[in-house]
Chains A and B, each alone.
Chain A
């Protein structure tokens, strides 16, 4: 290694010296001519001539002709050539933030892959029609009108998932009539702040009830029920249930907060929905048996693979099946079916979890996915619900661009259907 490097350095040094000689060739030529002239007229000795010539060459090799600058210039020329031949498209593709090139009509000329995926853009679409937030409109207007050559603005959109972007718009070069927009995702930082506030608000609100009940029992245990062994046992049991409920609540709140932290997930790979559901069923069978519920499968043929996040989809079906076993207990059975949609514009995998319990009244159906929305607080607490299960389900499905539809008739059970688009 070391040897090779010194050899390289040696070679480099020689090349540099030759380079310098080449650079000072005119000077050298003039010197040579002068020396020869002096030799011819003055008749000096041959050894003297040789010495003078050698001195000349050495001087030329060491002559500092702004040589570094010269080669730097040359390198710059070569580099500019390389950049010129580099296609703008490759350059845009290499940038991981959404990048959009548009013309003076705000028509999109090019959008890199990140932009196409994030905003669902297509070439030829009008940028002003897609980014409608007033501040972004004003920014585009300002740059297009030439009032400013560049500018940036922070903008947030709430739906379908909250996102905050810093959008920068600038003119490309001089008089190219092309403009560039780069969007930097700042959602994460913003969301952490929001998450803290939300978590505290939700947690304090929901913890109050079990805490109040525990405090009440402690008071009773220290007072009137001090020596009542039977009551003491009963109260301690209730207190234990309440603490369990609080810890479940904290788990759910944390998992919801984690989901909100990264609302746009990158899909790992192809996951097999049927396999996930099998695992869920296996893990829930003991609990179902305990509740006296049988889980039945109704899978149609074929494969059910799609791009998604395995753990999150597992959570979706776990929550749905668990709910079905809990609230549809009286029906005695729960049916899980998987099929592919037919004839729809976009192919979907459709999973239905159907129970045969008391069902959900019509007026509650649209609202059951709200946080802490409970149809009947008593039953919910008795069945160890936290009021967050379906909120989590909905959140995950939104991330997968999937939908949840709920059908139910009182007394006949409920069907929760997940529509997962296949892309």
Chain B
């Protein structure tokens, strides 16, 4: 992956950082997956497990930060090595945030699944989570393979996630208007959907960081903001 250095311990340190990132990524993926499963199947025990797992990510992030700083201090990395180290700090921060968002979804499981919710609501969130998770998975796969040409697809997925989120937003709003008793669970589901959408955004951030690590350039930023929920109002949803 990296060119050989005269001091092989330096190589080992860089490899250690990459491996810590991968293991953090694995944990984050697992947490998101389990949080969504817990939500869809109203499994409070699984939700508690997700909440309990979060400190692993916090701990990993601290460890990566310390290691990265010590590598910078002792080895004074240049060019790609420097990007690699800085990238590790950034990616670990994004992964830690993803863990927090998954934890937040898990915390809402009890409130969101109280009472009988329409199955289609959970299908929507599940589909949204599938998109976000496959985004995260692909990005982390690229971190392993370094084939940055594949990152182009990630932008498309981002648009899909935004469109799906907007659609869910409208649907949830409609349910709330139909029956005020839906408001509590639907509000929680809305936050869950928002969290999942944010997870997708963090995955995109990671993609940008990886692109920078490998090429040394910034990823072309031509992406129009696709989230259109800022314009959805209740009056828009009323039958004409």
Nearest A residue (CB) for B149:
A345
Asked if B155 is at the interface of the complex by the 8 Å CB criterion, the answer is no
Least CB distance, B117 to chain A, in whole angstroms: 14
Tell me whether A205 and B119 are in contact (CB under 8 A): yes
Tell me whether A159 and B130 are in contact (CB under 8 A): yes
The answer for the CA separation of A137 and B19 in the assembled complex, in Å, is 9
Tell me whether B133 and A370 are in contact (CB under 8 A): no
The answer for the CA separation of A137 and B164 in the assembled complex, in Å, is 33
Task: Please tell me which stretch of A34-42, A306-314, A358-366 contacts chain B, meaning at least 4 of its Cβ atoms lie within 8 angstroms of it.
Answer: A358-366
Tell me whether A134 and B164 are in contact (CB under 8 A): no
Tell me whether B141 and A130 are in contact (CB under 8 A): yes
Asked if B3 is at the interface of the complex by the 8 Å CB criterion, the answer is no
Tell me whether B33 and A365 are in contact (CB under 8 A): no
Least CB distance, B238 to chain A, in whole angstroms: 15
Given contacts A128-B23, A133-B26, A205-B119, contact A158 B33 (CB under 8 A): yes
From A122, A131, A205, A362, B145 is in contact (CB under 8 Å) with: A122
Tell me whether A105 and B15 are in contact (CB under 8 A): yes
The digit string for B97-131, where 1 denotes a CB below 8 A from any CB of A, is 00000000000000000000001100110010010
Q: Which residues of the other chain, A, contact B27 by a CB distance below 8 angstroms?
A: 134
Tell me whether A370 and B127 are in contact (CB under 8 A): yes
Q: Which residues of the other chain, A, contact B166 by a CB distance below 8 angstroms?
A: 363
From A105, A134, A158, B26 is in contact (CB under 8 Å) with: A134
Tell me whether B22 and A126 are in contact (CB under 8 A): yes
Asked if A372 is at the interface of the complex by the 8 Å CB criterion, the answer is yes
Given contacts A132-B23, A370-B124, A371-B123, contact A126 B15 (CB under 8 A): yes
Tell me whether B123 and A132 are in contact (CB under 8 A): no
Asked if B65 is at the interface of the complex by the 8 Å CB criterion, the answer is no
Nearest B residue (CB) for A129:
B144
Q: Which residues of the other chain, B, contact A372 by a CB distance below 8 angstroms?
A: 120, 123
Nearest A residue (CB) for B165:
A366
From A105, A132, A158, A362, B22 is in contact (CB under 8 Å) with: A132
Asked if A238 is at the interface of the complex by the 8 Å CB criterion, the answer is no
Asked if B188 is at the interface of the complex by the 8 Å CB criterion, the answer is no
Q: Which residues of the other chain, A, contact B22 by a CB distance below 8 angstroms?
A: 126, 128-130, 132, 137
Tell me whether B1 and A137 are in contact (CB under 8 A): no
The answer for the CA separation of A106 and B15 in the assembled complex, in Å, is 10
Tell me whether B124 and A106 are in contact (CB under 8 A): no
Asked if B63 is at the interface of the complex by the 8 Å CB criterion, the answer is no
Q: Which residues of the other chain, A, contact B140 by a CB distance below 8 angstroms?
A: 129, 132
Nearest B residue (CB) for A369:
B127
Q: Chain B at the A interface: mostly helix, strand, loop or mixed? A: helix
Asked if A373 is at the interface of the complex by the 8 Å CB criterion, the answer is yes
Least CB distance, B36 to chain A, in whole angstroms: 9
A64-118 interface (Cβ within 8 A of B): 105-106
Least CB distance, B26 to chain A, in whole angstroms: 3
Tell me whether A367 and B164 are in contact (CB under 8 A): yes
* Number of interchain pairs (Cβ within 8 Å): 82
The digit string for A364-406, where 1 denotes a CB below 8 A from any CB of B, is 1111001111000000000000000000000000000000000
Q: Which residues of the other chain, B, contact A363 by a CB distance below 8 angstroms?
A: 166-167, 170
Given contacts A160-B134, A363-B166, A363-B170, contact A373 B23 (CB under 8 A): no
Tell me whether A370 and B167 are in contact (CB under 8 A): no
Q: Which residues of the other chain, A, contact B145 by a CB distance below 8 angstroms?
A: 120, 122, 125, 130
The answer for the CA separation of A202 and B98 in the assembled complex, in Å, is 32
Q: Which residues of the other chain, A, contact B87 by a CB distance below 8 angstroms?
A: none
> Most chain-B Cβ atoms within 10 A of its Cβ — which of A122, A129, A363?
A129
Q: Which residues of the other chain, A, contact B18 by a CB distance below 8 angstroms?
A: 126, 129
Q: Which residues of the other chain, B, contact A158 by a CB distance below 8 angstroms?
A: 33, 130, 133
B1-51 interface (Cβ within 8 A of A): 1, 12, 15, 18-19, 21-23, 25-27, 29-30, 33
Q: Which residues of the other chain, A, contact B227 by a CB distance below 8 angstroms?
A: none
Given contacts A126-B15, A345-B149, contact A132 B26 (CB under 8 A): yes
The answer for the CA separation of A373 and B128 in the assembled complex, in Å, is 14
> Most chain-A Cβ atoms within 10 A of its Cβ — which of B15, B130, B152?
B15
Tell me whether B25 and A366 are in contact (CB under 8 A): no
Tell me whether B163 and A132 are in contact (CB under 8 A): no
Q: Which residues of the other chain, B, contact A128 by a CB distance below 8 angstroms?
A: 19, 22-23
Tell me whether B163 and A366 are in contact (CB under 8 A): yes
Asked if A124 is at the interface of the complex by the 8 Å CB criterion, the answer is yes
Q: Which residues of the other chain, A, contact B12 by a CB distance below 8 angstroms?
A: 105
The answer for the CA separation of A362 and B170 in the assembled complex, in Å, is 11
Given contacts A124-B1, A126-B144, contact A367 B26 (CB under 8 A): no
Asked if B143 is at the interface of the complex by the 8 Å CB criterion, the answer is yes
Given contacts A106-B19, A366-B167, contact A373 B123 (CB under 8 A): yes
Q: Which residues of the other chain, B, contact A373 by a CB distance below 8 angstroms?
A: 120, 123
Asked if B90 is at the interface of the complex by the 8 Å CB criterion, the answer is no
Q: Which residues of the other chain, B, contact A371 by a CB distance below 8 angstroms?
A: 123
Which 4 pairs, one residue from A and one from B, show the smallest C-beta to C-beta distance? A132-B26, A129-B144, A366-B164, A129-B22
11 residue pairs A–B, Cβ–Cβ below 8 Å: A120-B145, A125-B145, A129-B18, A130-B22, A132-B22, A132-B25, A134-B27, A158-B133, A365-B167, A370-B120, A373-B120
Given A363-B167, A370-B127: 16 more A-B contacts, CB < 8 Å: A105-B12, A124-B1, A126-B19, A128-B23, A129-B144, A132-B22, A132-B26, A134-B23, A134-B27, A137-B22, A158-B33, A159-B137, A365-B167, A370-B124, A372-B123, A373-B123
B-side residues, CB < 8 A to A, are 1, 12, 15, 18-19, 21-23, 25-27, 29-30, 33, 119-120, 123-124, 127, 130, 133-134, 137, 140-141, 143-145, 149, 152, 160, 163-164, 166-167, 170
